[in-house]
């Protein structure tokens, strides 16, 4: 079909994501704090108050699917912007004390050591992030792969379009399933793990 391989695009997207994490962590402290404040207010406004678990689940899932939709719908731009933004935010989050990010932890914990701070950050992100990030990055890589081969098809007409579309839809479905499960983990399992870890770390 073509010498191009999906793993090449996956590697490119992953490098963009990792690079943007490093950039986010290296930004000036004032800028990082400003961005975190903006993101926190945006999340607060988006989620609102007194939401049921089902409403929270749908809001989180809708936000993740929107990111995936941007990556799919905007050729060669969405696939770069989505991992770039996600990486920048993650880099910023992991470079600022968690007590400045999460008010609930701030009220319960004081004078955290770097190890305690990192532990709380990891348990706050890894349970659902282990599914969410692969889902997003896979979607970006697949979309990048699809649009590249689609352009080549427009030029050469030598690509099996039916096979390409079937593979695209199959992989996007996997990405969506990962995001569906990740959203559920984020509202049910992650908070429980954070609460248990917080009680242990903060006493």
The average confidence (pLDDT) of the chain is: 92
pLDDT at 50 (0 to 100): 78
User: Does 106 have pLDDT greater than 80?
Assistant: no
- Please, which pLDDT band fits residue 86 given cuts at 50, 70 and 90? very high
Number of residues assigned to the chain: 203
pLDDT at 1 (0 to 100): 46
- Distance from the Cα of residue 10 to its chain's centroid: 15
pLDDT at 160 (0 to 100): 84
Q: Where are the domains of the chain?
A: 6-202
- Which of 47-61, 107-121, 130-144: highest mean pLDDT? 130-144
What is the mean pLDDT of the segment spanning 87-113? 86
For the segment 107-126, what is each residue's pLDDT rounded down to a tens digit? 778 788 899 999 999 999 99
pLDDT at 104 (0 to 100): 74
Q: Is the dihedral of CA 67, 72, 74, 76 positive or negative?
A: positive
Percent of the chain with pLDDT over 70: 97
Cβ-count burial of 72 within 10 angstroms (0-12 exposed, 13-18 middle, 19+ buried)? buried
Give the integer Cα–Cα distance in Å for 55 and 149: 38
pLDDT at 3 (0 to 100): 56
For the segment 170-201, what is each residue's pLDDT rounded down to a tens digit? 999 999 999 999 999 999 999 999 999 998 88
Give the integer Cα–Cα distance in Å for 105 and 112: 10
User: Does 158 have pLDDT greater than 80?
Assistant: no
- Please, which pLDDT band fits residue 67 given cuts at 50, 70 and 90? very high
């Amino acid at each position: 079909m073509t010498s191009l391989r999906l793993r090449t695009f996956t590697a490119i997207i992953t490098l963009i994501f990792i690079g943007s994490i490093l950039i986010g962590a290296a930004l000036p402290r004032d800028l990082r704090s400003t961005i975190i404040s903006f993101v926190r207010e945006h999340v607060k406004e988006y989620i609102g108050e007194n939401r049921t678990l089902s409403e929270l689940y749908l809001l989180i899932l809708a936000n993740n699917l929107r990111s995936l939709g941007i990556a799919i719908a905007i050729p060669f731009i969405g696939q770069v912007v989505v991992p770039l933004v996600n990486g920048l935010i993650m880099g910023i989050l992991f470079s600022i004390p968690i007590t400045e990010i999460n008010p609930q932890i701030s009220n319960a914990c004081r004078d955290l050591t770097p190890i305690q701070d990192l532990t709380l950050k990891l348990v706050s992100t890894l349970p659902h992030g282990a599914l969410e990030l692969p889902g997003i990055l896979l979607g970006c890589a697949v979309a990048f792969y699809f649009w590249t081969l689609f352009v080549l098809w427009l030029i050469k007409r030598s690509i099996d379009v039916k096979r390409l579309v079937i593979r695209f839809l199959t992989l996007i479905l996997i990405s969506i399933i990962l995001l569906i499960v990740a959203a559920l983990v984020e509202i049910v399992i992650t908070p429980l793990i954070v609460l248990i870890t917080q009680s242990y770390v903060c006493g």
